Structure 1
Amino acid sequence: MPHVLIVTAVPPERDAVTSAFRGTAPVTEAPLPGGRRLHRLADGGGTLDVLAGGVGPAAAAAATATALTAADLAGRPYTLVVSAGIGGGFPDAEGAPAAPGGVIVADALVAADLGAQTATGFAPVTALGFGTDSHRSPAPLVRALAEATGARVGPVLTVSTATGTARRAAELADRHPGAAAEAMEGFGVAEAAAAHGVPVLEVRTVSNAVGPRDRDAWRIPEALAALGGACAALPGVLRAWQA
């Protein structure tokens, strides 16, 4: 297994990831500046560090950058960064709703609400001439992980405010055709990874449909269980990818 950093938002997501490896690799902890801790799994062929970095793109970017810098200074730079967690799912191309527990692998990590509202609609930050609003993952790696997990592939949208209405869901789907999921950290993780020249992936499992906020319809335990299962496929996929 290469030297990989997996960044989740919250500890339950982190624990879902590490639980997939318990019994096959010991889990140790390593401190990071600022009081965060990496949960580290080593199997002799590499290491996998899991970090609960916080909610939202800013917290995710800061935590990821801290971990990447610490690894660089230690002389063991990461070879891949993965944003992982649960999120909302968009309907598929045929209009079928996203199934709870479904796995999604991003082919693009998109800042969906980074830009400006204008008289003619939303203008992404790229149209304003500032930076980027999307990062792409290595296509062969995306395909390999999707095949290993039975995942749907498509853009995953990063938002700072989670969607809670049908109107907002429709606006996002119209602006980003083929969007598979919505979450709050992937683009922030990708920005930090890009600054260090490290490739990035995003893996999401569906806890709810993107649309009207209905907490009774959320299926968080199922999504967390699926997240562990999806991440369990990573080491084998990465070995083949980097062979």
Structure 2
Amino acid sequence: MTLLLVVTAVPAEADAVRAGLPDGAATVVPVGVGPAVAGAATARLLALAEAGGRPYAGVVSAGVAGGFTDHVAVTGTVLGSSAIAADLGAESPDGFIPVDRLGMPAELLGAGTTLTADRDLLAALRAGLPDATVGPILTVSTVTGTTAGTAELRRRHPDAVAEAMEGYGVAVAAAQATVPFVELRTISNPIGPRDRAAWRLHEALQALTVASAALPAVTTAGN
């Protein structure tokens, strides 16, 4: 019985993950781009598995990401210690206010803006990927493409190692289903002004295949 669910944004990422896994080691599904569709699709997959009597023991959000290059090099691997909804909140004259600091009643905040990765799943990946960089991974609905935007993210999240578009949505779905969650990414480009010549998408997908070889240990940790 497959106990691990790995979700990616696009089929190319799913293919890269599958290429690094033994047959039957995990269910790998491309669920779409962005936190809303990724969260909704992951929630459906988890609910169907539970209803069928075959619940997943862990969920991994996997794929490529933009990296803060003072923390990780392009083509490097990152493991998310937490998933942060970096643009969920409100603008103000004094700067961005995260949704969990807007004074709303706690019952309206849901998961808040930060969800911590499962300790055991993260430890299993760290053991299998000792050279990976570990830190918060930001989830954004709009990819950062300016120097000013990059500087603002660095100011608000100085420990963040990468940004992607699905991790927080997947983490919310996992939390709602009480299923452990962790995020695995490889870096295809620096965060900042969009310079496609600096992207290394092919190499990042190859790195994702290599990193995915550590995922069977996550299945063991989830038991």
Partner secondary structure for residue 226 of structure 1: helix
CA deviation after TM superposition for structure 1 residue 147, in Å? 3.4
1:73 aligns with 2:51: yes
> Hey, what's the Cα distance between the residues in 1 that align with 2:82 and 2:222?
21
Higher strand share: 1
> Hey, what's the Cα distance between the residues in 2 that align with 1:20 and 1:211?
30
Structure 2 match to 1:204 = 185
> Hey, what's the Cα distance between the residues in 1 that align with 2:41 and 2:212?
20
Structure 1 match to 2:113 = 133
| Contact map agreement 1:148 1:237 (CA 8 A) in 2 | no
Partner secondary structure for residue 106 of structure 1: strand
Structure 2 match to 1:37 = none
> Hey, what's the Cα distance between the residues in 2 that align with 1:236 and 1:140?
10
> Hey, what's the Cα distance between the residues in 2 that align with 1:102 and 1:211?
17
> Hey, what's the Cα distance between the residues in 2 that align with 1:102 and 1:75?
37
Detail structure 1 runs of 4+ shifted over 4 Å in the superposition: none
CA deviation after TM superposition for structure 1 residue 73, in Å? 1.1
| Contact map agreement 2:61 2:182 (CA 8 A) in 1 | yes
The alignment of Structure 1 onto Structure 2 pairs a total of residues equal to: 216
Structure 2 match to 1:84 = 62
1:13 aligns with 2:13: yes
Scaled by the length of structure 2, the TM-score of the pair is 0.92
| Contact map agreement 1:9 1:85 (CA 8 A) in 2 | yes
Partner secondary structure for residue 212 of structure 1: coil
- Unpaired runs of 5+ residues, structure 1, are 26-41
> Hey, what's the Cα distance between the residues in 2 that align with 1:7 and 1:56?
12
CA deviation after TM superposition for structure 1 residue 242, in Å? 4.6
**Post-superposition CA distance 1:2-24 (Å, at most 9, x none):** 60110100000000001112xx4
1:107 aligns with 2:81: yes
Partner secondary structure for residue 126 of structure 1: helix
**Post-superposition CA distance 1:178-202 (Å, at most 9, x none):** 1000000000000111110111000
> Hey, what's the Cα distance between the residues in 1 that align with 2:128 and 2:70?
20
Q: 1:178 aligns with which of 155, 159, 163?
A: 159
> Hey, what's the Cα distance between the residues in 2 that align with 1:114 and 1:49?
30
1:216 aligns with 2:197: yes
Structure 2 match to 1:166 = 147
Identity of aligned residues (%): 51
- Unpaired runs of 5+ residues, structure 2, are none
Question: 143-152 or 55-64: which moved more?
Answer: 143-152
- Structure with greater contact order relative to length (CA < 8 Å, sep ≥ 6): 2
Scaled by the length of structure 1, the TM-score of the pair is 0.85
Structure 2 match to 1:234 = 215
CA deviation after TM superposition for structure 1 residue 146, in Å? 2.2
> Hey, what's the Cα distance between the residues in 2 that align with 1:238 and 1:77?
12
* Paired AA for residue 10 in structure 1: V
| Contact map agreement 2:121 2:180 (CA 8 A) in 1 | no
